[in-house]
Amino acid sequence: MITTICLNPCFDKTVNVDSLQVGQVNRIRDARVDLGGKGINVAVVAKRLGLDVQCIGMMGENGAAELTALMDREELKHQFITVPGNVRTNMKVCCLAGQGVTELNEPGPVLEPRHISGFTELAKAATADSEMIVLTGSLPPGCPEGTYCELMKALDGHKCILDTEGKELELCAKHAHPFLIKPNLREMEATLGIELRTMRTIRDAALLFIRIGVQHAVVSMGAMGAMYISAEKTLFAPSLRVETKSTVGAGDAMIGGMLLGYEIEKSMDKAFRYGIAAGAASVMTEGTQLIVRSDFENLLDQVKVQEV
């Protein structure tokens, strides 16, 4: 069993406009609403790839029925605590003229200490049979600094994958020692406060976390590919040439692919190849639809990994 944790789920609304005119009326050409939240995204990808997975978390009571229905449609196992407030909506504005994607993300409902302690007890019970636990996504208002770190310490004994940035990443790396961290390049730069422009500097930055207790690190770099770093080796995989429809959720798909790879290969460096294929398959879908399994299977043999 794999468990993903999603403390701030959402509805992902994707709208297409010809071009985005700031301060002007913009006409939407079409729109779609998908299930959202990074922990849910990872679970959906893992489920579509055939893994036994569940997602646990908290959500606002207003909109909970609709979000639950979307998870049920995916046949995804889930346990969520409802709290006062609304399930947030994150807006992705896609400009067909080539201006990229503009994201407008709501903060989510405010959590109280009793909500966090209640979820911690749920998590300890729900993950008893889980080999791997994924903690990812933004934290809602009310979560104190170190929330992920305290959760990981409460779930000691499990392999934890962490996808976050800044102080949360620093605290978890130092005090809770994740099995794997997966920041993207921007997040790694923001966390360390430095620019990383070469593979050597990216490797050295990741090794800072390896030296304080992280076992494996994967840094995704968008069109430049991705790197895997451990104390023993560094691997690089260039990005695959695919038709890009949306990059939203590609990092979550990458984690889902690595979960499958680890289950098959029992080795995280070998699982890296599966993550590259899953991330590339994700960008081939529109909005936040995440992944089609046949796309992933077709891309897997195209992944080229080299040691650097």
Nearest one of 88, 39, 38 to 63, comparing CA atoms: 88
Annotated catalytic residue 72: no
By DSSP bridging, strand 226-229 and strand 77-86 are unpaired
Helix (H, G, I), strand (E, B) or coil at 210: helix
Residues near 265 by beta carbon (within 8 Å), at least 6 away in sequence = 271, 274
Contact 45, 260 (CB under 8 A): no
CA distance 64 to 48: 23
Query: Nearest 5°: phi and psi at 296?
Result: -60, -45
CA distance 189 to 15: 30
**Structural tokens at position 67:** 């979000």
Task: Give strand ranges (E) for 164-246.
Answer: 180-181, 216-220, 226-229, 234-237
Contact 290, 245 (CB under 8 A): no
By DSSP bridging, strand 216-220 and strand 100-105 are unpaired
**Catalytic, out of 12, 34, 163, 252:** 252
CA distance 85 to 155: 27
Helix (H, G, I), strand (E, B) or coil at 216: strand
Give the chain's end-to-end CA distance (angstroms, integer).
33
Nearest one of 303, 299, 268, 297 to 48, comparing CA atoms: 297
In angstroms, the Cα distances linking 233 to 96, 138, 210, 212 are 41, 30, 11, 17
- What is the set of active-site residues? 252
